[in-house]
Amino acid sequence: MTTPLTPQERSAFYGAAVLGLRALAARKLTWEDAARLVDSNQRSRVSKFQPCLPPDIEHGLIARETMNVDDANATLAQWKRAPTQEVEG
């Protein structure tokens, strides 16, 4: 069971999330960005040759098979254009 967040904690959490989204929306994501977002501890099996690949190439392969940079950029662009709303605490 998790402890509910206090209003101050909730505000800090949402503030950090908004800052993160603004940083992502500041420029278009690339496949190199997506490869860096691959969690190396959660390895997705996308190819039988994957164990033979160097980590940077493997992460790029996983990113291309499991992510969609164009959709992410479209979503971030929509978020960036949306009017800001205050979150009630």
Structural domain for 34, as ranges: 28-81
Q: Per-residue pLDDT for 87 more than 60?
A: no
- Residue 53 domain flag: yes
Q: What is the reported pTM?
A: 0.56
SS3 sequence, the chain?
CCCCCCHHHHHHHHHHHHHHHHHHHCCCCCHHHHHHCCCCCCCCCCCCCHHHCCHHHHHHHHHHHHCCHHHHHHHHHHHHHCCCCCCCC
- Residue 20 domain flag: no
Output the average pLDDT for the chain.
82
Q: What is the percent of the chain where pLDDT is above 90? A: 4
3: its two tokens: 């402890």
| 37 or 70, higher pLDDT | 70
Using pLDDT thresholds of 50, 70 and 90, give the confidence band for residue 79. Answer: confident
Report pLDDT digits (tens) over 58-76: 888 888 888 899 998 888 8
Domain count, the chain: 1
What is the rounded distance in angstroms from the CA atom of residue 68 to the CA atom of residue 73?
Answer: 9
- Residue 4 domain flag: no
